[in-house]
Amino acid sequence: MSPAKTLRATALSACGLALALTLAGCSSSSGGSATTASPTPTGPKAIAAPECFPDGSRGFVEGNPDEGSAAPVAVGGKGTHGIVFAPQDGGDWCQWSFAYQHFLDQGYAIASFTYPQQTSEVVAGAVDALKRSGVQDVALVGASKGGSFVGAYAASVGAKAFVAFSPPALVTGADAAEGSQDFTGPLLVVASKDDNAGVASTSSRQVSHASTDPSTFLEVPGTAHGIAILRGDDSEPVWAAMDATIAQGFSS
CATH number at residue 178: 3.40.50.1820
Q: How far is the CA of 43 from the CAs of 64, 72, 90, 226, in angstroms? A: 11, 14, 27, 33
**pTM summary value:** 0.83
**Are the CB atoms for 162 and 194 separated by under 8 Å?**
no
Instruction: Please count the structural domains in the chain.
Output: 1
154 lies in some domain: yes
Confidence (pLDDT) at 22: 34
13 lies in some domain: no
Confidence (pLDDT) at 42: 54
31 lies in some domain: no
- Name residues whose C-beta falls within 8 Å of residue 16's C-beta, 6 or more positions apart in sequence: none
- Whole-angstrom Cα distance, residue 203 to residue 215? 17
**Are the CB atoms for 87 and 107 separated by under 8 Å?**
no
DSSP 65: G
157 lies in some domain: yes
71 lies in some domain: yes
SS3 call for 63: coil
pLDDT tens by residue, 3-60: 544 443 343 343 333 333 333 333 333 343 333 333 344 579 999 999 999 999 999 9
* Structural domain boundaries, residue 128: 44-251
Confidence (pLDDT) at 33: 39
In this prediction, the residues of the chain whose per-residue pLDDT falls under 70 are 1-42
Give just the sign of the alpha carbon dihedral 94, 182, 172, 65. positive
113 lies in some domain: yes
User: Of 168, 7, 176, 203, nearest to 103 (Cα)?
Assistant: 7
Confidence (pLDDT) at 37: 39
4 lies in some domain: no
User: Of 39, 43, 42, 46, nearest to 25 (Cα)?
Assistant: 39
32 lies in some domain: no
Confidence (pLDDT) at 35: 37
Confidence (pLDDT) at 5: 45
Confidence (pLDDT) at 169: 97
